[in-house]
Amino acid sequence: VLPTGRDTVDTAVDHTDISNARVFVNKKGTSAQAEDSAEMMRKIALGLIHRTNVESSISPGRQSAKHFWLHGLGVIKTIWDADRWMDKPEQKEGESDIEYGIRIDAWRAFGHYALPIIIQAVNPYAINPDPTTGGQLYVIEKHRKLTYDALRQFPLWHNPRGKGTDDYVEYLTYYDKDYRCDLLDGEPILRVKGGVVN
């Protein structure tokens, strides 16, 4: 099999500029303070993009560029992950207040490095935007997952269809600006009443 098709796509991806992101932030007023605030938010966004590219094994920007040239659409998903916050250290038994204070100071100094935001490139095949507005009202994301992986990630899931560990389950996520619901083979996996979080 000749690599012509792959080479063509890879060449197009190589010519897609993903290294010089431009970020624009709307000012919330006309004062100098509003301008400084907008500039700070712009720099934070640029830093987040840079950090994501540095920390990821494959840059989400490059993945998205490849999806664009393969499917005509690139999808970037931003996720809030509270588990990425650094836990506040607890005082150990027998530890003096001074020693504990030093550890707390170090935690305060480096805690801001732990941003709880993840940026991912999602295959457009898995994304189903609402057909009326092109995804502005809601999006449904659909993946296949091995039962083994689903049980490891969600140990409280009951496997309602009794699938074996090497079978695939359907993982659906609905989200809009107010609500989110995750289903594994039709069973809600977010442990809140009704399975829908606000």
CB under 8 Å, gap of 24 or more: what pairs does 37-42 form?
A: none
Whole-angstrom distance, CA of residue 20 vs CA of residue 23: 10
Furthest-apart CA atoms within the chain: distance in Å: 68
Whole-angstrom distance, CA of residue 4 vs CA of residue 9: 9
What are the Cα distances from residue 168, in Å, to 9, 100, 155?
A: 30, 48, 16
Q: What is the pTM of this model?
A: 0.72
Average predicted confidence (pLDDT) for the chain: 89
pLDDT in tens, 116-175: 888 899 999 999 999 998 888 999 999 999 999 999 999 889 998 999 989 999 999 998
- 172, containing H or E segment: strand 168-176
Helix runs in 15-96, H state only: 32-55, 60-71
Whole-angstrom distance, CA of residue 53 vs CA of residue 161: 39
